[in-house]
A and B are shown apart, each in its own frame.
Chain A
Amino acid sequence: MVIAVFLAFVIFVVGLSFYLGRQTRTSSGYYAAGGQIHWSVNGIAFAGDYLSAASFLGICGMIATMGYDGFLYSIGYLAGWIVALFVVAEPMKRLGKYTFTDAVDSKYNSRGIKLAAAISTLVVSICYLIPQMVGAGVLVEPLLGLAHHWGVILVGVVVITIVATAGMTSTTYVQFLKGGLLIIFSLALVTAVCVRGFDSKPDQGGKVPFYEYATLSAAMTGGQLTVAEPGWQVLEVQEVKSAKASFARLANNGVQTWWLVKGDGSQVSLTETQSVVETKDGRKLINGAPASKENTLRQVGHIEKLEGSTDVPKGPVSPWRLLSAMASKDTVVQRWKDTKLTDKDGSKVTIYYPTSTPGNLLMRPGLKFKVQGTPMEKLDFLSLMLALFFGTAALPHILIRYYTVPSPASARKSTIVAIAGIGTFYILTLFMGLGAMINAVLNPADSNMAAPLLARSFGNLLFAIISAIAFATILGTVAGLIVAASGAVAHDLLDRFFQVRMDDRQKVRAGKISAFTVGAIAIVLGILFKGMNVTFLVGLAFAVAASANLPAILMLLFWKGTTAKGITASIIMGVVSSLVLILLSPDLYKQYGLDPTTAPIPFSNPGIVSIPLSFLTLVLVSLFTRNKPAPEPAKV
C-alpha cells in the first residue's frame, strides 16, 4: 500500500506537469509562468518552494537528535521572510523579468553583472540542490527498498521531466499542491503525537517491542577490564578522545559487541551500544551479526524520566504540556551519539551509544551550537543566525517567484501568505522533532528520516502519505532550483551575456537543455554527499546566497553611489569567500575524512565573514569607480 500511494502521487504530479506543459510555448511562460499566477496560489507555492527537504527532513531530524538547536533553523528561515517582504519583494517585482540577474542589472546593462550574477545563481542553486538530492536518496531507501543512489537518480529523472515539460507553470502548481498538503499532514502528525502522549517504553503503538539495553558490572585493575558476569570475554578497550569516552569489545557465545565504559576507578559499568563493523574482508556486521533486511540498527530515543519520575503517565497531552514537560530540568531523554574507530583486527567500526540529556539543556540552544563555548563557537552561532536571516531574500529560486505574479502588490500579498504557511509549519517542526525524539523511531545512523519514521509509527497509510509529500517536497524544490539555474544559463549567459541570437522557441529549448545539464550535475553531487544532515547543507547554501546576492540587491536599492563594477565585485567576492570558507571548514574536513580540528578555518558557518566582506567590496569598488555619473538608483 505504501508503494501504491507513493507511486500514485508521483504519477499524478508528473501527469499534471505534462498537462500544464502543453500550455507553455513562450519564454515568459517557461521562466515566469506568464506572470499571471494569483497571489494566493503563489503564496502557497512560495511555501512549497521554501519548505524543502531541509525543512521537513532536516529540521525535524536535527530537533529529534539535537533538541532546540534544530529549531533555530526554523526561526532563522522564517525570520528571513521579513527581509524578503519589507525590503525585497516589491522592488524585485518592479525591476526584474525572469531572473535575479535581470533585477540587479536593470539599471546598468553591464556584462560584468550579467556574468557574475549568473554564476552566483548557478552556484547557489547547486549548493541548495545537493541537500535536496541527499534527502531524496534518504527517503527512497526505506520506502521503496532502493539504494541511496537510485533514490537520487529517480528524483533527478522525474524533476528533469517536470521542468523540461512545463517550466515555471507546472513547478508553481506542484509547489502549491505540495505546500498545502505538507502543512495539513504535518498538523495531522502533530495531533497524533499529542494524542499518543508520553511513554518511557515506547513501542510504536504495539508494533515494535521496546528494547532494553543491558548493563554489565566490571572491574578495572591495572588497565585490565574484567566483566563480573561469567561468559563474557573482553577483547579490547579503546578510548576515543573526540567522543570523550571509552568502549570495550566483548565476546559472548561467539558474538562480538561494543559496550560503553562508564565510571572511573576500579568499579565500572558497561552499557550496551549498537555497532556497524566493516571487516577487512568486506563483510558488514550490525550488532555482531551479519547485516540483512532483518538485522538492521534498532530505532532509538525515549524518555527515561519525566519531571523526575520514571513512572511516566500515559495518555494524550496538550501541545503546551508536551513542551513544558520536555523543558523540565528533571526530565531526562535518552539520545544517541556516534563515533568511529578501528579495532585491533583492522575493521572499521561505527559505534552508536546512548547518552542521557536533561530537558533544560534539550529545550534551549547549546547542544549543537555551543553558545556557552569558546568565542569561536559563539561566532559560529552568530554567523549561522546572520546567514539564515539574510539568506532567504537572496535565494534565486525564491526571487524568481516574484515574477510569476501580475503586480508588486501581488508580490507583497503572496509573501504574506507564504509567511503564514511557512510559520505554521515551522511551529509544527518543534512538535514533530520532539515526537520523533521520544517515540523510539529514530535511525541512529541518519537523522534525516525522523519525520517519516515518526509517521510510520502511527501506521503505514500516514507513512505513505507523509513520504509521498516529502518526495514531492524534494521534487518541487529541485524543480524550482533547476528553473532558476537553467534561467541563469540560457537567459543570462547565452541570451544576455554571449548574445546568442535565439527566437522564443529556441530560448525555451535552451532552458530545457540547461535544466537537463544542471539536473545531471545535481544527481552526481547528491550521491557524493550522502549522509550529511540536509538542513546543515542548506544552511551553507543560505550563507553563499546571503554573501553573494543580498549586498548587491540592498545596495542597488538603497545607495545612490552603487556602480556596476561595485555590484560585480561584490557578487564575486561573496561567492568566492563563502565557498572558500566552507570548503576549509571543520564540517567539510570531516566529510573529506580528515581530522576536523586541523581545518584552517575554525568555524563552519561563513556568513559572519563573507557577508560583511561582500558589502565592503561593493562600497570600496563603487567609490573607486565613480568617475562617471552614477546611474539613478532603482525606485523602491
Chain B
Amino acid sequence: MLHEPAAQSGKDPAAGYKSRLGLWMFLFYSIFYGGFVAINLAAPLLMEANILMGLNLATVYGFALIIVALIQALIYDSMCHAKEVALADREDAKEGGN
C-alpha cells in the first residue's frame, strides 16, 4: 500500500522517447568526460598546453565540461517538452475524435 508515488501524475506517453534520448545524451557526455580523464592519464602534460588566449587545456576542458552539461540539459528539456506537447495534442485529438 505504500508503493504509490508521493504525488500522482498521469500517464506519460513520451516516457519511452525521453528515456532513449536521455541515454544517448548520457552516452555523449560520458565520452566527453572520459576524454578528459583519458588525457590526464595518458598525456598529462598536454593539459598544460596553452590553447585559448593564455588558458591551458585543463582550464578550458574543465569549464567546457560544466558548460556543455548545462547546454545538453537545456536541449534535452526542450526536446522532451516538445515531444510531451506533441503527444498530448495527439491524445487530445484522439479523445476528441471519439
Contact = CB atoms under 8 A, between A and B. Distances in A.
Interface string B1-26: 01111110100100110110011011
A73 B76 CA distance: 25
A94 B3 contact: no
For the residues of A in contact with B, the DSSP-based class is helix
B26 A86 contact: yes
A636 interface: yes
Given A423-B66, A427-B63, A327 B55 contact: yes
A364 B56 contact: yes
A90 B3 CA distance: 16
A395 B56 CA distance: 33
Q: Which of A74, A324, A328 has its CB near the most chain B CB atoms (within 10 A)?
A: A324
A28 to B, nearest CB: 6
Contacts of A324: 53-55
Interface in B36-77: 36-37, 40-41, 44-45, 47-48, 50, 53-59, 62-63, 65-67, 69-70, 72-74, 76-77
Contacts of A491: 2
Contacts of B53: 320, 324
Contacts of B73: 81-82, 85, 415-416, 419-420
A416 B9 contact: no
Contacts of B30: 82, 389
Contacts of A406: 7, 9
Contacts of B2: 97, 102, 491, 495-496
A79 B29 contact: yes
A74 B6 CA distance: 32
A371 B69 contact: no
A553 to B, nearest CB: 13
Given A85-B73, A636-B15, A378 B66 contact: no
B6 A28 contact: yes
A552 B98 CA distance: 42
A82 B26 contact: yes
Interface residues of B, number: 50
A561 interface: no
A85 B33 CA distance: 16
B86 to A, nearest CB: 14
A36 B8 CA distance: 11
Contact of A409 (B25, B40, B84): B84
Contacts of B84: 409
Interface in A63-88: 68, 71, 74-75, 78-79, 81-83, 85-87
Contacts of A430: 59, 62
B58 A82 contact: no
Given A75-B62, A405-B7, A327 B56 contact: yes
A427 B60 CA distance: 11
A419 B70 contact: yes
Contacts of A97: 2-6
A269 interface: no
A86 B25 contact: yes
A94 B12 contact: yes
Given A94-B9, A407-B7, A416-B73, A381 B40 contact: yes
Interface string A318-343: 00110111011100000000000000
Given A94-B12, A324-B53, A360-B56, A32 B66 contact: no
B87 to A, nearest CB: 12
B77 A413 contact: yes
Given A82-B30, A86-B25, A412-B76, 14 more contacts: A81-B73, A86-B29, A87-B22, A94-B9, A320-B55, A327-B48, A327-B55, A363-B48, A364-B56, A407-B7, A412-B77, A415-B73, A419-B69, A635-B15
Interface of B: 2-7, 9, 12, 15-16, 18-19, 22-23, 25-26, 29-30, 33, 36-37, 40-41, 44-45, 47-48, 50, 53-59, 62-63, 65-67, 69-70, 72-74, 76-77, 80-81, 84
Interface of A: 28, 31-32, 34-36, 68, 71, 74-75, 78-79, 81-83, 85-87, 90-91, 93-98, 102, 105-106, 109, 320-321, 323-325, 327-329, 360, 363-366, 371-372, 378, 381-382, 385, 389, 403-409, 412-413, 415-416, 419-420, 423, 426-427, 430, 491, 495-496, 635-636
5 closest Cβ pairs, A-B complex:
A324-B54, A35-B7, A86-B22, A364-B47, A35-B6
21 contacts: A35-B5, A82-B29, A82-B69, A86-B25, A86-B29, A86-B76, A87-B23, A94-B9, A97-B5, A97-B6, A327-B54, A328-B54, A329-B48, A360-B48, A364-B47, A364-B58, A365-B58, A366-B44, A385-B33, A423-B67, A636-B15
